[in-house]
Amino acid sequence: MKTWKYYIYIKNKLKSLYSPEKFYLANRIIFKWENNQNNPNERIVLVDSWNDFQKGNYLEPDEKFGYLTINSFSKSILDLPFEISNLSFFDNKTSIAIHIHVFYEELLNEILIKLNLIPFKYDLFISTTSIEKKNLIEKYLFNSKANYYEIRIFENKGRDVFPFISQMKCYYKKYKYICHIHTKKSIHRLFLGANWRKYIYDNLIGSKEVILDILYEFEKYEKLGFIFPEAYNEIIKNVKDYQNINFGLNMANKRYMNFILKKIFQRFKLNEKLVFPFGNMFWAKIKAIYQIFNIRFRFPKELNQNNETIMHAIERIWLYLVKLNGYFYKIILKHF
Segment 7-35, tens digit of pLDDT: 555 555 554 455 667 777 777 777 777 77
- Tens digits of residue pLDDT in 318-333: 988 898 899 999 998 7
Q: How confident is the model at residue 103 (pLDDT cuts 50, 70, 90)?
A: very high
Q: How far apart are CA 277 and CA 227, in angstroms?
A: 9
Q: What 3-state class would DSSP assign to 225?
A: strand
Per-residue confidence (pLDDT) for residue 242, from 0 to 100: 47
109-113, 282-286, 300-304: least confident range: 300-304
Q: How confident is the model at residue 128 (pLDDT cuts 50, 70, 90)?
A: very high
**Selecting from 3.40.630, 3.90.550, 1.20.120, 3.10.50, what CATH number does the domain 89-332 have?**
3.90.550
Q: How confident is the model at residue 136 (pLDDT cuts 50, 70, 90)?
A: very high
Burial group, residue 309, by CB count within 10 angstroms (0-12, 13-18, 19+): buried
Per-residue confidence (pLDDT) for residue 213, from 0 to 100: 86
Taking alpha carbons only, the member of 235, 223, 228 closest to residue 205 is 228
Residue-wise DSSP of 253-294: HHHHHHHHHHHH-S-----SS----TTS-EEEEHHHHGGGGG
Per-residue confidence (pLDDT) for residue 283, from 0 to 100: 97
Residue 187, Cβ neighbours under 10 Å: how many? Answer: 8
Instruction: Find the mean pLDDT for residues 46-53.
Output: 54
Q: What is the largest CA-CA distance in the chain?
A: 64
How far, in Å, are 104, 158, 182, 197, 308 from residue 163 at the CA level? 14, 7, 11, 19, 19
Amino acid letter, residue 317 = I
Residue 46 has pLDDT above 60, yes or no: yes
CATH 3.90.550 positions along the chain are 89-332
Per-residue confidence (pLDDT) for residue 45, from 0 to 100: 65
Taking alpha carbons only, the member of 314, 316, 282 closest to residue 300 is 314
How far, in Å, are 3, 11, 279, 289 from residue 276 at the CA level? 32, 25, 9, 14
How far, in Å, are 51, 53, 60, 160 from residue 56 at the CA level? 12, 9, 11, 47
3-state per-residue secondary structure call for 145-160: CCCEEEEEECCCECCC
Q: Which residues contact 226 (CB under 8 A, 6 or more apart)?
A: 282, 283, 284, 285, 288, 289, 318, 319, 322, 327, 328, 329, 330
Which residues, in sequence order, are bridge partners of residue 127? 101, 152
Q: How far apart are CA 8 and CA 128, in angstroms?
A: 44
Mean per-residue pLDDT over the chain, rounded = 77
Length of the chain (residues): 336
Per-residue confidence (pLDDT) for residue 101, from 0 to 100: 96
Cα 152-183-144 angle, rounded to 5 deg? 65
Q: How far apart are CA 230 and CA 247, in angstroms?
A: 17
Taking alpha carbons only, the member of 181, 180, 209 closest to residue 334 is 209
The residue among 262 and 107 whose pLDDT is bigger is 107
Residue 173 has pLDDT above 70, yes or no: yes
Pairing of strands 96-101, 148-153: unpaired
Per-residue confidence (pLDDT) for residue 252, from 0 to 100: 66
Instruction: Find the mean pLDDT for residues 53-57.
Output: 48
Q: What torsion do the CA atoms of 159, 235, 274, 216 make, to the nearest 10 degrees?
A: 80
